[in-house]
Amino acid sequence: MLRIIYYRWKRLIRDKANTFWILLFPIILGTFFHIAFSNAAASENMETIPVAVILSDDAYGDALQSTCDSLATGEEPFLDVTYCDEEKATALLEDKEIVGMITSGKQVTLTVSGNMTNQSMMQSILESFVNEYNMYQTVLIDIAENHPEQLQTAVSEMTNDIEYNETASLSRNPDQNPLTQYFYNLLAMTCLFTAVGGVSVACDNQANLSDLAMRRSISPTHKLKTIVGELIASVLYEFVFNLVGFAYLALVLKIDLTSRLPLTLLTMFLGCAVGTTLGFCIGCIGRMDRGSKQGLVFAVTMPLCFLSGLMFGNMMILIENHVPILNRINPASLLTDCFYRLSQYHTLTRYACNMITLVILSIAFCLLGFFMTRRKKYAQL
């Protein structure tokens, strides 16, 4: 058995296609993911809103100026304020150099342009700011007129943030970037791509597909022993290469994937077993050559990865709402859910169910492959 494993490793090392899909492709795709998601995260940061402020020569103008000045300071100010008259403010708004025009008074007013639909979010934020300012201003004016002795207390209370509820997260990692989900999908895809190695095991044991299998067909070694040894070697080899890709994502790209690390590695190992046995099962189908069967592997695994959310993040949720049985039998979805639950859930009940299902799938793929290769005979070679 050890000799079989040793020689299978030597053949796998020489298999350049397998090395690319298991090692290089996940690293390349993971790097692209990291670049794309970093840019997406940067674009979500709040930008400073340019506004023009028209002040009146009274207490209302002084109060608005004081507020705007405080919001226009700091490393990431909320407002970029230009104080000017109405004529200049209108010109700036027409030239789209500002998002809105704020005018002081007993009730502060906001003027925006209907031709700036691309700035609708900033306009909505400005509207919320003006509405809140007017609410506070009205309250303070009422207190100043009726209860002036309480004015200072009211100002102090309004400047303090009051929390009436206590936030308690049910997640183990509430601060995790939601885009990390795509890297869980990437790990699941990498595990399933080990099916390429499983196809090689199948083809190397079919005498009509390889010269090596011809010699094996007349050797005294039992075919089942050979296949089992080569499957074990393939799973171990693919797992080692998956570890390299995993280390690159976790240590170089700094993706948060190391939660409950022993169980995460166990999940990856079982994922490699499922992928390899799936490839072995596919490789035992029909009399197609090795290239055609490897193409069939990708024709099967890529739709499974799509259904798990690799290309569309909410796909698993949509399937769960309409056809939940697919999430229970799709190995890519099961692996993705395992990684997610290890990171976010305190309990491991669902994780254990997923792992048991993966074990059953792996055994089923093995048995199907053995059944299709059992007692195959050839009229001539």
How does pLDDT run across 48-57, given as a tens digit for each residue? 889 999 998 8
Tokens 């790097």, located at residue: 31
CA neighbours within 13 Å on the CB side: how many for 282? 28
- The Cα–Cα gap between 309 and 253 comes to 21
pTM of the model: 0.67
Lowest mean per-residue pLDDT among 115-124, 139-148, 162-171, 255-264: 162-171
- The Cα–Cα gap between 364 and 356 comes to 12
Say if residues 273 and 362 touch (Cβ distance below 8 Å). yes
- Using alpha carbons only, what angle is made at residue 242 by residues 305 and 357, rounded to the nearest 5 degrees? 50
pLDDT on residue 218:
54
Reported confidence tier of residue 169, pLDDT bands at 50, 70, 90? low
CA neighbours within 13 Å on the CB side: how many for 47? 13
Mean per-residue pLDDT, 68-89: 86
Mean per-residue pLDDT, 161-169: 50
Q: 259: how many CB neighbours lie within 10 A of its CB?
A: 14
Mean per-residue pLDDT, 145-162: 61
Judged against a pLDDT cut of 90, whether residue 338 lies above it is answered with yes
Lowest mean per-residue pLDDT among 75-79, 108-112, 202-206: 202-206
How does pLDDT run across 181-230, given as a tens digit for each residue? 889 999 999 999 999 888 888 887 775 666 665 555 556 566 677 788 88
How does pLDDT run across 256-292, given as a tens digit for each residue? 888 889 999 999 999 999 999 999 999 888 788 888 8
- Rounded to whole angstroms, what are the CA distances from 29 to 192, 248, 259? 15, 12, 22
Comparing C-alpha atoms, which of 228, 214, 219 is closest to residue 367?
228
Mean pLDDT value across the chain: 82
The radius of gyration computed from the CA coordinates of the chain, to the nearest angstrom, equals: 32
Q: Give the single-character DSSP code of 47.
A: P
The helix (H) or strand (E) run that includes residue 51 is strand 49-54
